[in-house]
Structure 1
Amino acid sequence: MKKVLLIVSLFLPISLCFAQQNGVQFTVRWNITNNRYEVFAKPNFTSSTFTWGPSQVGLVLPALTPNQAVNVTSVNAGTWVDKSRVYAPLADVAHDFHGVVSDGDMTNLTSGVETLLFTFTLSDGQCRAGVRIFVNGSDPASSAAGMAGGDFKNTIFSGVEAYGSNYNNTGTQCNNCNITAPELIK
């Protein structure tokens, strides 16, 4: 019993710290050089031994995307798999929803620094503009029309919930061309 109390007393402050910080954010970008989407995590804390528990990143894709699983390549925080999908549900016919999950693993995280979690491509190898991360509390809930009970909320369970929010989540672009023409001198 004393061992259990000791373990709990050591774990509780760490859990409360993460609960208060609630600080890992997600984003997705198109990498034009490597012809793939990349999903990143950015924490507001540093941990050389952050233990990702069961986690999910919800992806929102345009409904014109082929109705197939995305091809995932795991990089950090365990093995990621496109586990659940709902295509153009009545609650949001313009989008498809994918739940990419991992059982987790130890990961080195540095405050304010992006960590690449996984990359993915679509079955047709094309880029579709507008791919983004699911917005918890705003995108359709599992009980919404056509969602078939699918829960696509983002989560990172590391003893407590460590997912915070998304950043730069306005939808991917398929090119990285941000060149503006200089103003002509009259």
Structure 2
Amino acid sequence: MTDTDQPRFLVVDDDPTFTRVLSRALTRRGYSVTVARSAEEAGRLLEQWVPDLVSVDLKMEGASGLRLIPVLRAASADMRILVLTGYASIVTAVEAIKLGATNYLPKPADADQILAALAQNEGDADTEVEAQPMSVDRLEWEHIQKVLTEHDGNISATARALGMHRRTLQRKLLKRPVKR
């Protein structure tokens, strides 16, 4: 399926524009790139081909990228796995790392940032601590993500736990989170 002399890179993302741009950039950098549009498709690819590096989108049609991490980790303990998402939250970052991801990066990110995150082996104690606390909107987003995770992604159960209408919760989840 790929040239064995090149590092194998699997991009798991349902955004065709993003995957096309990232695939080209990684190919120019010497990687053999394969794209899967869902966690399920990526799981099927693993039956015949094991990548060295993986970029996994968190929110896709079908299973979440979080559900794919243990499957990837089972295929190879040495695989480097990056969760890349436009829906970043503290809860999903923690869960991704607990499940075996190497790193976690919010979108937008370019090929150089993705490769740097995959190459990073240790944490950085000199990381800047934000001077301002999170906004109320961001705190709400984080809390919703925490409760959603506690209910295994079940929207109805999460809405009940939060005391809000299911459709209201769905509308909130469709919006991109505020940065701060």
| TM-score above 0.5, yes or no | no
- The structure showing larger relative contact order (alpha-carbon pairs under 8 Å, at least 6 residues apart) is 1
Question: Which one has a larger percent helix, Structure 1 or Structure 2?
Answer: 2
Name which one, 1 or 2, has greater alpha-carbon Rg.
1
Question: Which one has a larger percent strand, Structure 1 or Structure 2?
Answer: 1
